[in-house]
Structure 1
Amino acid sequence: MCSKKPLVGVLASLVFGCHVFCSSASAQITNFDFGELEYIDLPEELSPTCFDFADLDDDGDLDAVVVGRNTDGRVSLLEGGPGGSLALVGELTAPGQVDWVELGDFNEDGAIDMVLGIRSWVGMVVIFDGLSNGGFVEDPRTIRLGRELRSTRIADLNQDAHLDLVVVGHGSEEIQVLNGDGTGAFSFGSRLRTAPWRNGYPYPQSAELLDLDLDGFTDIAAIGLGSRTIELSLNDGTGGFSRTRSWKGPDLANGQQPGCAYGEWQDFNGDGRVDCLLSLTDFGMQQFAILQLDESGDISTTTLHPGVSYGFSWYPASGDFDGDGDRDVVIGHALPGLIAIFENVTEPGGDPEFLYPQSFLGLQFIRYLRSIDLDLDGDADLVAADFSGDRLIVLRNQLVGAPPPDGGSSQSDQAAEQTVSISLPPKLEQMDGSSITKWLSDLSAPEVRQFIDTSKSPASEAIESGGVRP
């Protein structure tokens, strides 16, 4: 079940380095045709941080790999079945906590391999080579680099037809390129220092690989949660990145500087150029921004949009959930971990506009979120990782598809009627957005659970009373 309630917030009007316009969407509410929340239980204390999908065993169904911030380094393997069901079938062990996973064929043998970013002071990229039966070798290969890796992304950066890696070193303040040779081996390529002009710690958190300036080469877009910066590095065509530009995230109308950690890079206004959906984290009313890029790949215009009045904005994603050809916005939140979905009603080539959100409650900390056609029925579903809940959350889009499959997931009618009760440290009210974002990014799942009581008020009471604020 879903809860729908219009949420009106203060719009921002200032950002460094570019013009800002405020959205004024009409007072309508997003109402997509999603089913009830489905829960896929994961091993206790896995603390899921990320997942990826691929048809590992070549049976026509999507399988999943789920990683987590657990000290045992456990990695869960889920087999996909007809209708998009997922069932736990095994585990692997990595040498430490894992914040990110991606799947790809690095040695070009036809089997899908797995790359992990290890969250340790001595950072490691860990690669589990895939087997022809859809499994993985038990003993991985490791590449030591950086400190506290938060993301490992895959693309062909140097136009040699082999997959390369881009690694985000949160503690070492760097973006490192590893060039693949098609055999599964990697060599060190470009190293980008994040926000070198800034005093303090930039703490890069995420990176996306995409063509920012439409020249046919894959560029790097990184976000630093300590510096509140969006850093765009343009590829020279050989995998070199000599030109990096930095923009500070937007300020709010009240002078607050919200934090930012992740971006979703898509074309939200249909002008043929990529935009960035930036989730903005602050105490109080949440907002999100759309950063529009020009032909050169520079950020030219920013619009800010009201979010929800409870929880902290964390992970942004998007998908065409109503089949109208544009990208709708979805944001996963922390403490409590609701999922908020905003229908895109932007006129082609115009300033972005979104309806008020459709919200799904009863969750804890949506650490990662992805739009994917899980059941392969032709419409976009949603899958989320509930960090402290040790579960995946599935929202099946019923625009085209059939009811959810039996088996492989545990569903709860009670979750639709209840939300979590949160007791947060009073210090958060005195912290700026970047400090709150850093605090959230460093939390362990046991720490999150200390703030949560899942036995309390129904969702409607929580919304009416302001919900989660101490």
Structure 2
Amino acid sequence: MKKFANALAWIFTFTILHLFSSCGNDDSVKDPNKEIEENNRLPRAVYEHGNFTASYMLDTDQDGDNDIILGPHIGLSSDALLINDGTGNFQIKENAFPTRYKGSTANTVTISSEDFNGDGRPDIISSTIDAAEGSFSESAQIHLYLNNGDNTFSDGTSKITDNLIEVGWVEWVRTGDFNNDGNVDFVTTSSGGFGMDAANGVFQGGYIYLNDGNANFSRSLIYMNDNGDLGEYSFEVLTWDEAENGEARMGRFPLDIFVGDVDNDGDTDLVAPNGYAEGQWATFINISSGTEPTFEVILNGNHNSDPYDEVRFKNGALLDINGDGFLDVIGSSSISGLPDETVEIVTAINDGTGRFTETTGLITGATPGVNHARQWLVADFDSNGKDDLFIADHGYDFWPFPGYPNTFLMGSGSELVNSSSNIGTASAFTHGAAVGDIDGDGTLDIFMNNIQGLENIGGASSDFFIYLNDGSGNFSGSK
């Protein structure tokens, strides 16, 4: 992502500054170029910019249809809001968001939504990094945007203590009630270890920010018990044991974090992959009683001194693969790092308590692999009551940015079926995606963050952002 950003920065800056100028805090006159062209669902400016690194779909104005929030890479001073007319045609809402961290030299990498202050309106939380050349990803800020009810958002970032990440950046912000007090909290994930220095207490991922119910967030000490080598312990981020030469110590820290109720007891648990590290990975079973976040730690896999001998999850998702009613794990072992090679997709089955065991043979059809899987989105795309999975894969993150086909797996109730041909086999630079009903037909569609303009520097290209579902999990691109 870093190489990609630096190489593209000069292409977009001049065009973007005037096309989307009204998405910032100025009061400029509406540019007619932003109006929907005939037969186009999106405003022209979206295609002219063409460089969005995050998106999220939700009904911001609560009129019954899904709107889209776009997080741009450089050139814009703020995120953009697209308002749906109810049929899947969108217009830009001017001045919807306040200026983000680093303004037009920033990159919004993740967007999520919950009602954080209990007023019945969906609010936004996001992570924005410094994307300026020479300082890319050296710092970041977690933003809170509170919904005003009129398709605009006010800046609530100051309500988050420790919102500035001074080294490295936060890749994902996952939400849930982690201390069982009825308020929606959030947990941060790391960008693959960039900038992390555990020896000196420098982290980006694994922090839990507790919500007081009024959207005031503060980091909390986390209480854990592995019922083994470490027993009861507490730390500022999620961590688990690394037993080495018979010595127990807190030595493992999460990169990605999956959020869900893995033991079906009604509260929110966490699963922490081991990333590039060897050995065991952890499930954090929520046993909180309404104050501090408290977890029982289950260790999955076996400790092994060979870092490539054990199952490794760089990123992934929770979904019910085998139809037993419990959330299982699917993920990729790492990032390929090569333009034409993939890494395997691995699966692990939940025994119902949150303990996972690697299990093969659960994906039928052509054996899928991923190159640089950016985002894993679980939804029921064919309305059969089974979990399906869309994997946004932008491929090789260096020149000439060739892109890579995305992956689509459909749940049968006992396994996953590789149905990637349903979304097309073309290579695009899909830097994440958002899922929701775009055109009001009751089926889930996909907005893909397909970076436009890469063909100008010799890479992948896609003409579409919107992919409409026919109701059976077959998708077609729509402008």
Report the TM-score range of the alignment, normalised by the length of the smaller protein. Answer: 0.5 to 0.7
1:235 aligns with 2:286: yes
Cα deviation, 1:188-219, whole Å, max 9, x if unaligned, reads 223324466399x9784432321112222211
Structure 2 Cα separation of the partners of residues 124 and 151 of structure 1? 12
What residue number does 1:157 align with? 178
What residue number does 2:375 align with? 315
Structure 2 Cα separation of the partners of residues 223 and 299 of structure 1? 11
Structure 1 Cα separation of the partners of residues 391 and 469 of structure 2? 16
Aligned pair in 2 of structure 1 residues 314, 185: CA closer, same or farther (>3 Å)? closer
Give 1:361 deviation, angstroms: 3.8
**Conserved in 1, the CA contact under 8 Å of 2:255 and 2:273?**
yes
What residue number does 2:271 align with? 221
Secondary structure of 1:295 counterpart: coil
2:259 to 209, 219, 224: 209
Secondary structure of 2:182 counterpart: coil
1:179 to 210, 218, 225: 210
Structure 1 Cα separation of the partners of residues 188 and 370 of structure 2? 33
Structure 2 Cα separation of the partners of residues 292 and 243 of structure 1? 19
Secondary structure of 1:369 counterpart: strand
**Conserved in 2, the CA contact under 8 Å of 1:343 and 1:354?**
yes
**Conserved in 1, the CA contact under 8 Å of 2:56 and 2:434?**
no
Cα deviation, 1:21-55, whole Å, max 9, x if unaligned, reads xxxxxxxxxxxxxxxx9877637667423222221
Give 1:286 deviation, angstroms: 4.8
**Conserved in 2, the CA contact under 8 Å of 1:262 and 1:279?**
yes
Cα deviation, 1:53-110, whole Å, max 9, x if unaligned, reads 2211122211121224437653111111212333332353211432211122222223
Aligned pair in 2 of structure 1 residues 353, 161: CA closer, same or farther (>3 Å)? closer
**Conserved in 2, the CA contact under 8 Å of 1:46 and 1:69?**
no
Structure 1 Cα separation of the partners of residues 276 and 211 of structure 2? 30
Secondary structure of 1:153 counterpart: strand
Aligned pair in 2 of structure 1 residues 209, 182: CA closer, same or farther (>3 Å)? same
Aligned pair in 2 of structure 1 residues 339, 67: CA closer, same or farther (>3 Å)? same
Aligned pair in 2 of structure 1 residues 324, 169: CA closer, same or farther (>3 Å)? closer
Q: How does 1:36-435 map to 2 (within 5 A)?
A: 42=46, 47-70=51-74, 74-90=78-94, 92=97, 93-96=99-102, 97-119=107-129, 120-137=137-154, 140-141=157-158, 142-145=160-163, 146=165, 147=167, 148-170=169-191, 171=196, 172=203, 174-189=205-220, 190=222, 191-194=236-239, 197=242, 204-227=254-277, 230-238=281-289, 239-247=292-300, 260-280=313-333, 281-282=335-336, 284-303=341-360, 305=363, 307-308=367-368, 311-335=371-395, 336-347=403-414, 352-355=415-418, 357-358=420-421, 359-387=423-451, 393-399=465-471, 411=479
**Conserved in 1, the CA contact under 8 Å of 2:208 and 2:219?**
yes
Gaps of 5+ in 2: 1-39, 130-136, 197-202, 223-235, 245-250, 396-402, 455-462
Structure 1 residue identity aligned to 2:324: D
**Conserved in 2, the CA contact under 8 Å of 1:279 and 1:315?**
no
**Conserved in 2, the CA contact under 8 Å of 1:46 and 1:74?**
no
Give 1:248 deviation, angstroms: 6.3
What residue number does 2:30 align with? none
Structure 1 Cα separation of the partners of residues 260 and 156 of structure 2? 32
Secondary structure of 2:118 counterpart: coil
Aligned residues with identical type, % of pairs: 19
Structure 2 Cα separation of the partners of residues 187 and 303 of structure 1? 41
Structure 1 residue identity aligned to 2:181: D
Structure 1 residue identity aligned to 2:357: S
Aligned pair in 2 of structure 1 residues 196, 144: CA closer, same or farther (>3 Å)? farther
Compare relative contact order (CA 8 Å, sep 6+) and give the higher one, 1 or 2. Answer: 1
Cα deviation, 1:394-418, whole Å, max 9, x if unaligned, reads 22111279x99xxxx973xxxxxxx
TM-score when normalising by structure 1? 0.66
Give 1:323 deviation, angstroms: 3.2
**Conserved in 1, the CA contact under 8 Å of 2:161 and 2:219?**
no
Structure 2 Cα separation of the partners of residues 178 and 151 of structure 1? 13
Structure 1 residue identity aligned to 2:101: P
**Conserved in 1, the CA contact under 8 Å of 2:240 and 2:297?**
no
Structure 2 residue identity aligned to 1:143: T
Secondary structure of 2:87 counterpart: helix
Q: How does 1:436-447 map to 2 (within 5 A)?
A: none
Structure 2 Cα separation of the partners of residues 309 and 224 of structure 1? 19
Structure 2 Cα separation of the partners of residues 181 and 309 of structure 1? 42
Structure 2 Cα separation of the partners of residues 230 and 50 of structure 1? 28
Structure 2 Cα separation of the partners of residues 395 and 310 of structure 1? 20
**Conserved in 2, the CA contact under 8 Å of 1:233 and 1:243?**
yes
Query: Root-mean-square deviation (CA), in Å?
Result: 3.9
Give 1:242 deviation, angstroms: 3.8
Structure 1 Cα separation of the partners of residues 325 and 385 of structure 2? 13
Structure 2 Cα separation of the partners of residues 260 and 301 of structure 1? 11
Structure 1 Cα separation of the partners of residues 52 and 297 of structure 2? 32
Give 1:133 deviation, angstroms: 1.0
Range with bigger deviation, 121-130 or 257-266: 257-266
Structure 2 residue identity aligned to 1:320: D
Gaps of 5+ in 1: 1-36, 412-470
Structure 2 Cα separation of the partners of residues 389 and 244 of structure 1? 46
Cα deviation, 1:200-246, whole Å, max 9, x if unaligned, reads x9784432321112222211123353327753211113352343345
Aligned pair in 2 of structure 1 residues 293, 392: CA closer, same or farther (>3 Å)? farther
**Conserved in 2, the CA contact under 8 Å of 1:73 and 1:98?**
no
Cα deviation, 1:378-435, whole Å, max 9, x if unaligned, reads 222222222466997222111279x99xxxx973xxxxxxxxxxxxxxxxxxxxxxxx
